[in-house]
Amino acid sequence: MSDARRFWQETHHCFDPSEPVTIDQSWLHAERDPRYNPIAQIERQLRHVSQDRSRFLLTGAVGNGKTSELNHFASKLTQSRIVVLVDLWEHVQNNVRDQNALDRLEMWELLGLIGVAIYRAGEDSLGHQWKDEPKLLQRALESLRAAEGNGDGAEIDLVKLARGMTVAAGGVMGAVLGGPVGAAAGAAIGETATEGGTALVKAVADSSRWTWKVGLPGTRPRGDQDGELRQVLNAVNRLIMSLQHSYARPLLVVIDGLDRIRDEERTRALFIDSLMLSELDCDALITAPVMLMRRQGQSVDHFIVKDLNNIPVLDRDAPASPGPGLAFFRDLVARRVAWIGETLASAGLTPPPAPFPVEIVDQLAYYSGGLAREFINLVRLAAIESLDRGVEQLDRDVLQRTLREARTHREYYMTKAEIELLERVMRDPDRELPGDELALTLLQQRRLLAYPNETTWYYPHPLLTLALLKPERGSKK
């Protein structure tokens, strides 16, 4: 096996679009321009404010790098706060095994999942000694489960449930961060004065043992005045106050994955019609569906709504030309190629010289539309093409083959109305969002993309401009 072949195999493994940069991979994190990164703005606010509760909703296109940004953000905030982060989309996929559950999630179930995550973080990552707080949450959840009468029985074992949830946590003096769960990396918890960073606590229970079937069809909606629902909220707040009181630090809860909710009624029920999430007695940053920002963002008055746009790889005034966001993707590739090089060196292999020419990386970045996951996928496709052709360096032929495959996928089943709307956006010098339902659908499909500047502007996905879209068709109308 040649070194180049092994390099492209490692590249395919390293550039995995389903795997964001985790909290223990900070060397792989590329920094966005802070001027256009609302997460950096949130971080600055939380760094300077500790007394008042700060609550944020973060929207943005699926695949634009929110999870990687949140992992990096959470790790940095441990310098001033206890941080607990949980990805509910990952949990629903891996343990609940029903990705539609988020579209049916009731508020008491969401609060209960947050409470389980806080309990797991305190128990297994922070070394916290709980009193009766977990029992209060367990009883509150059992009461509601019994009331639903779904045939599963009312008993809930909070300890077993917690073991089936992956969380990241940090920010407590004395906790061994980044080491094994419990009391392990060279010193028992309590013997090491480590601060900063975030430890990932993986689920250790078999997913078949996750016995709480959240998001079942037919679960009864409950209003904010419902007594049993408020018992769940109060129990979660008892867990929060226990951590904050014990360590004399504010708690930040980061809930990722709720941006995957597709049901507009569920979005409204959780984020607009209910104030329950805003009553969590701690700082909170929660991802929300991008349609919340587009349709109902002005209706949210108990959270600050922030939108993470795509990285601006296009120039606003001349979209056929590259924009300032290319630097982000150059850095991303350089970091991962360096890591791959170290991996090969440890095996006595040498990576090929300059496998990623800057001009090819720039083209891949441009045609990714500034979506981090799409860029990662393009690099992966290019790695396969390079393996197939036996080359040591990405070249124009590899680029064209890669873009052709990605373009075909992006064009699938587009209608005449969709094409006409996108061509109209291309002709608009102000790059404004058309005021109809179809434009919002295209945003959700990531065929129309949002970019930051002084104001948000819009343009079709660059892959669609390679062959399908011809704006001159309507220029004389």
Q: Hey, how many other C-beta atoms are within 10 angstroms of the C-beta on 312?
A: 24
pTM of the entire structure? 0.86
**360-378 in b/e burial notation, b at 16+ Cβ within 10 A?**
bbbbbbbbbbbbbbbbbbb
Architecture of domain 1-20+311-469: Orthogonal Bundle (1.10)
Average pLDDT over residues 264-293: 89
Residue count of the chain, please give it.
477
pLDDT for 147 equals: 83
- The string of pLDDT tens digits covering residues 100-132 is 899 999 999 999 999 999 999 999 888 899 999
Q: Which of the four pLDDT bands, split at 50, 70 and 90, describes residue 2?
A: low
DSSP state letters, 363-396: HHHHHTTT-HHHHHHHHHHHHHHHHHHT-SS--H
- Stretch(es) of the chain classified as CATH 1.10.8.60: 1-20+311-469
pLDDT for 354 equals: 92
- The string of pLDDT tens digits covering residues 74-95 is 888 888 889 999 999 999 888 8
pLDDT for 331 equals: 96
- The string of pLDDT tens digits covering residues 28-71 is 889 998 888 889 889 888 888 767 789 999 988 888 888 889 98
Write phi, then psi, for 457 (nearest 5 degrees).
-130, 165
Distance CA(157)–CA(142), nearest Å, equals: 9
**196-218 in b/e burial notation, b at 16+ Cβ within 10 A?**
ebbbbbebebeeeebebbbbeee
pLDDT above 80 for 141: yes
- The string of pLDDT tens digits covering residues 399-418 is 999 999 999 999 999 999 99
- The string of pLDDT tens digits covering residues 151-190 is 455 678 898 889 989 999 998 864 433 332 332 222 222 2
